Amino acid sequence: MDRFITKQSQVSSDNPTPDNDPIDPLENNVEVEKALPDNTNTHIGNNSEDLNPSLNAGDSFLPDIFDPRYWDSLDSKQVDILAQKRSKRDLSIQKGPKDRFSRRFSSLFYNRILSNGESFDRNWLVYSKELDRAFCFSCKLFTKGHRKGQLANEGYNDWAHLGKRLKEHETVADHVLSMTAWYELRNRLQTNQTIDKAAQRQLEKEKDHWRKVLFRIVGIVKFLAKHNLAFRGIEMLAEFDPVIQEHVRRIINEETQNELIHLLASAIKSEIIKKIKSAKYFSAILDCTPDASHQEQIFLKYVDSSSGHVRVEESFRGFLDVNDTTGQALFDVLENELKVLDLDIDDVRGQGYDNGSNMKGKHQGVQRKLLDVNPRAFYYACGCHSLNLTLCDMATKTCGKAKDFFGIIQQRSFSKLKLLKTYLCSTMTQERLNDLAIIALEGEMLENIDYEHIIEDFISKNTKRMMLFK
């Protein structure tokens, strides 16, 4: 089992829109559907000696079975997995890169408008980001003999005529036969009516066992990360849980922990970005740590109405490494982070920083740089910092000893904080620190996230896991 979950594979004009004729007389795909219904680095366990070193070190190359580039070399078991799960679509890709004619693939091609006006999903259509080509899933995998057409072979990239080509392709006899073969195999696998059905039943039983193990491990990681607890000392759970008893000390190492933590944090990030895009407008808040680590904390403020009650939310997005603390450099960091999050800088309606000259400067400060790009991003100075400066100024004029006292305390605090951060940075990667911070601060969002989605993402990142769990 170690080899299935401890080794991770290495692994953004005019839109072309499908040609939707008002009348489409041929709807073979619909007939097929009707004919064949779709039915922090410490280990959780104390031991890792059981891990097979040959599996952790020099594994041979394993292709991504969901990548059309490798479909010609799949074995029968991998084809069975694809038949049940089909190739996954990257829903984040709404448009492909432009070609020399400024044409590109669009996710609109995934849907076909039927003659009665209904939208029908072309579940056989697959787009390869790496090749920038479209493929027919069923024809490429289930056509017997010679495959005809680019969609079934090297892929189609004539985006100007793709809409017409798709309508022609889904009506030809070879495509209908391949779709029939696909649905028939999928139904047989789902009902254990294949020749090796006894072996299939045993395999399904084993898959169910390992999914239960993963379910518990994800729950453990979620609880420990949310409550800032150390990732150790949970052997008591294994003592009373027969499902996980044999696996706590064997299948968890730091890579698996970090991967599960990252998946939980990514689920929270996706939920935050989803809410911000739903609200459209938001504010950005930057706050720099006053030590040698030079890290900016970024918070995003937005109006959340997803629960039925309108309220203003402030969500932590992460720590950003900063090498240059000038106004221009900090603005570049903020602008780049918004691009990474796929958020439009023109939708910023507020910005909040402290009263440092590099932040609030009227000519070279971050707030000025952002206002030059987006005049609607009004700047609000930090009230707490303004109050602090006022009190410090009053203390300086009225009590010299108080000034010296707070100065000494501040120097010693920053010195100790630097030592602490230096130790943490030597034992914890920046990505893990970011992910743990997001889970701890925004842990409430995890309560609405389905474990199954986390487990599916975890499994899909490794071909070996796919062979066991799918």
pLDDT in tens, 326-354: 888 888 888 888 888 888 899 988 888 87
- Using CA of residue 98, residue 102, residue 107, residue 110, what is the dihedral sign? negative
pLDDT of 223 strictly over 50: yes
pLDDT of 315 strictly over 80: yes
Return the minimum-mean-pLDDT range out of 295-304, 313-322, 373-382: 295-304
pLDDT of 430 strictly over 80: no
| pLDDT at residue 383, as a whole number | 73
pLDDT tens digits, residue range 434-452?
Answer: 788 888 888 778 777 777 7
For residue 462, what are its two tokens?
């490794």
∠ CA 246-249-250, nearest 5°, is: 80
The pLDDT of 74-96, averaged and rounded, is 78
Which residues are CB-neighbours of 247 under 8 A, at least 6 positions away? 1, 213, 238
pLDDT of 198 strictly over 60: yes
pLDDT of 237 strictly over 60: yes
Length, in residues, of the chain? 470
Q: What distance in Å separates the CA atoms of residue 251 and residue 132, rounded to the nearest whole number?
A: 37
- Whether the pTM exceeds 0.75: the reply is no
Q: What distance in Å separates the CA atoms of residue 183 and residue 180, rounded to the nearest whole number?
A: 5
- Name the nearest CA neighbour of 144 among 195, 67, 79, 189: 79
pLDDT tens digits, residue range 149-191?
Answer: 888 888 898 998 998 999 889 888 888 888 888 888 888 877 7
The pLDDT of 265-270, averaged and rounded, is 86
